[in-house]
Structure 1
Amino acid sequence: MNLEEICDNAKKGREYALLGNYDSSMVYYQGVIQQIHKQCHTLRDPAVIVRWLQVREELTEEYEQVKAIMGTLESFKTEKPNHIFTPQTEERPEDPVWPPPIPAELRNPVVVKWPSGVVQLQRKDCPALQHRGAGPAGPAGRGQAKSDRPGVRDARGIKPKDDKGKKGSGDAQEQDQKKFDGTGYDGDLVDSLERDIVSRNPNVHWDDIADLEDAKKLLKEAVVLPMWMPEFFKGIRRPWKGVLMVGPPGTGKTLLAKAVATECGTTFFNVSSSTLNSKYRGESEKLVRLLFEMARFYAPTTIFIDEIDSICGRRGTSDEHEASRRVKSELLIQMDGVGGSLENDDPSKMVMVLAATNFPWDIDEALRRRLEKRIYIPLPAAVGRVELLKINLRELELAADIDLDLIAEMTEGYSGSDITTVCRDASMVAMRRRIQGLTPEEIRALSKDELQMPVTMEDFTLTLKKVSKSVSAADLEKYVAWMGEFGSV
Structure 2
Amino acid sequence: MSLREITENMKLAREYALLGNYTSASVLYQGLLEQIKKYMYTVRDSSVQQRWQQLWQEINEETRQVQDIMSTLENFQLDATPVKPSNHDDLEIRPAHVEQRYSPCPVRRPANPHKDSKPPNNRLSVAVRVQQRQSPRGHNEDRNRPSKGKEKKEVKEAKEGKEAEKEVKKFDWTGYDKDLVEALERDIISQNPNVKWDDIADLEDPKKLLKEAVVLPMWMPEFFKGIRRPWKGVLMVGPPGTGKTLLAKAVATECRTTFFNVSSSTLTSKYRGESEKLVRLLFEMARFYAPTTIFIDEIDSMCSRRGTSEEHEASRRVKAELLVQMDGVGGASENDDPSKMVMVLAATNFPWDIDEALRRRLEKRIYIPLPSIKGRVELLRINLKELELANDVDLDKIAEQMEGYSGADITNVCRDASLMAMRRRIEGLTPEEIRNLSRDEMHMPTTMEDFESTLRKVSKSVSAADLEKYEKWIEEFGSC
Counterpart among 165, 169, 179 of residue 188 in structure 1: 179
Secondary structure, counterpart of 2:336 in structure 1: coil
Q: Which amino acid aligns with 1:6?
A: S
Partner of 1:164: none
Alpha-carbon RMSD across the aligned residues, in angstroms, is: 4.2
Instruction: Please tell me whether residue 462 in structure 1 is matched to residue 458 in structure 2.
Output: no
> Contact 1:235–1:343 at 8 Å: present in 2 too?
no
* Matched residue SS, 2:271: coil
Residue of structure 2 equivalent to 1:285: 276
- The answer to whether 1:441 aligns with 2:432 is yes
Report the 3-state secondary structure (helix = DSSP H, G, I; strand = E; otherwise coil) of the residue aligned with 2:304: coil
Counting only pairs closer than 5 Å after superposition, residues 36-185 of structure 1 correspond to structure 2 as 48=44, 86=90, 103=109, 105-106=111-112, 109-110=115-116, 112=118, 181-185=172-176
Q: How does 1:33-432 map to 2 (within 5 A)?
A: 48=44, 86=90, 103=109, 105-106=111-112, 109-110=115-116, 112=118, 181-339=172-330, 342=333, 344-432=335-423
- Say which structure is richer in helix: 2
What is the CA–CA distance in structure 1 between the aligned matches of 2:427 and 2:36, rounded to whole Å? 65
Task: Give the TM-score normalised by structure 2.
Answer: 0.74
Q: Alpha-carbon deviations, 1:200-228, whole Å to 9, x = none?
A: 11111111111100000000000111111
Higher mean C-alpha displacement, 47-56 vs 344-353:
47-56
For residues 279-323 of structure 1, the C-alpha deviation after alignment (integer angstroms, 9 at most, x for no partner) is 221111111111111111111111111111110001111111111
**CA offsets per residue over residues 103-135 of structure 1, 9 Å max, x none?**
251399345369xxxxxxx99x9xxxxxxxxxx
Q: Which runs of 5+ in 1 are unaligned?
A: 90-98, 115-121, 126-176
Superposition TM-score, scaled by structure 1 size: 0.73
Residue 276 of structure 1 aligns to a residue in which SS? coil
Residue number in structure 2 paired with 1:171 = none
CA distance, structure 2, for counterparts of residue 340 and residue 432 of structure 1:
56
Number of residue-to-residue matches in the alignment: 414
1:459 partner SS: helix
Q: Distance in 2 between matches of 1:389 and 1:474?
A: 26
- Relative to structure 1, the CA distance from residue 51 to residue 453 in structure 2 (aligned partners, 3 Å threshold; closer, same or farther) is closer
> What is the SS of the residue equivalent to 2:235?
strand
Name the residue aligned to 1:471: 462
1:9·1:32 contact (CA, 8 Å) conserved in 2? no
Would you say the 8 A contact 1:302–1:352 is kept in 2? yes
Q: Encode CA deviations 1:386-417: one digit per residue, 9 max, x unaligned.
A: 11111111111111111111111111110000
| 1:6 to 2:2 alignment | yes
Amino acid in the other structure paired with 2:178: G
Distance 1:88 1:487 in 2: 70
Per-residue displacement from partner, 1:212-261 (whole Å, max 9, x unpaired)?
00000000000111111111111111111100000000000001001111
- Bigger Cα displacement from structure 2, 418-427 vs 27-36: 27-36
Q: Which segment is superposed worse, 403-412 or 189-198?
A: 189-198
Provide closer, same or farther for how the CA distance between residues 300 and 446 of structure 1 changes in structure 2, counting only shifts above 3 A.
same
Identity of aligned residues (%): 68
For 2:285 and 2:389, how far apart are their aligned partners in 1?
49
Unaligned runs of 5+ in 2: 81-87, 94-104, 121-125, 130-138, 140-167
Q: In 1, are the aligned partners of 2:226 and 2:333 still within 8 Å (CA)?
A: yes
Q: Is the 8 A contact 2:50 2:190 kept in 1?
A: no
How many Å apart are 1:35 and its aligned residue? 11
Work out the CA distance in 1 between the residues paired with 2:345 and 2:295. 5
